[in-house]
């Protein structure tokens, strides 16, 4: 056997053993791995189960929910529009959404005990770069308690939750990618799902990637699990829906 083939076989065996061991240690209930170079697939393997109660074996064509990895797809879509000269990285978001970002308010103070707050206008514009890099000043309810607990006073309305810091000042995982998706829709004139399908999934041959799962593919879907206090992994009692009306730029 040529040296190159021997080395590849040895590497594959090493990966197989590492993944089997992870399942045996119950680090995961199942795993699928693949590696490729410009010539094609050089490794693929599936170990463990796709459904704990049914002990359904994991397969190389098992399908997973990608959740917030949708953000990478959305950002790719936006960068395609940048390459085409239809969007500029330093464009202010107000160019596309003036009602929300022409004069965004910013928290000067927030009292977590009473909910009292003081706002001032942001001195910097939120740009496309900021929403691409989570440096916009926006937050998520689960990453920032001010975003979570903010309630406008009676008679006050805000098109967005006020910014937590000046754009570009720091990083915070946030709703930024939702706005990236809205820029894609605004500029392309297409819903996100249609844009992704036409400009990313079809060109790359990603025939199993979509927001919602067709009935005929449901048997291939890996279940969502949870780890109990004793360390055991069990199937989550509530499985995410495979169809819905909302198509999020940040999660699927």
Just list the catalytic residues: 68, 71, 173
CB neighbourhood size of 116 (10 A): 10
| Contact assessment for residue 172 and residue 143, using Cβ atoms and an 8 Å cutoff | yes
Strands 233-235 and 225-227: antiparallel
CA distances from 235 to 41, 48, 212, 228 (A): 31, 14, 21, 10
Strands 105-110 and 56-57: unpaired
């Amino acid at each position: 056997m040529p040296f190159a083939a021997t080395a590849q076989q040895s590497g594959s065996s090493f990966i197989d053993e590492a993944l089997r061991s992870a399942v045996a240690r119950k680090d995961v209930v199942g795993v699928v791995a693949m590696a490729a170079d410009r010539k094609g697939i050089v490794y693929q393997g599936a170990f463990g189960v796709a459904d704990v109660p049914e002990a359904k074996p994991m397969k190389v064509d098992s399908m997973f929910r990608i959740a917030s990895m949708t953000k990478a797809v959305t950002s790719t879509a936006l960068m395609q529009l940048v390459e085409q000269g239809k969007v500029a990285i330093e464009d202010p978001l107000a160019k596309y959404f003036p009602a929300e970002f022409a004069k965004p308010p910013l928290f000067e103070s927030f009292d977590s005990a009473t909910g009292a707050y003081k706002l001032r206008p942001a001195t910097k514009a939120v740009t496309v770069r900021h929403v691409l890099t989570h440096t916009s000043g926006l937050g998520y309810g689960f990453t920032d308690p001010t975003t979570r607990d903010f309630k406008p006073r009676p008679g006050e309305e805000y098109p967005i939750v006020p910014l937590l810091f000046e754009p570009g000042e720091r990083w915070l995982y946030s709703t930024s990618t939702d706005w990236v998706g809205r820029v894609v829709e605004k500029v392309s004139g297409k819903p996100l799902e249609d844009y992704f399908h036409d400009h990313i999934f079809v060109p790359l041959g990603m025939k199993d990637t979509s927001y919602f799962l067709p009935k005929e593919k449901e048997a291939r879907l890996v279940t969502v699990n949870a780890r109990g206090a004793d360390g055991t992994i069990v199937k989550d009692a509530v499985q995410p829906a495979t169809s819905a009306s909302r198509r999020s730029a940040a999660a699927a």
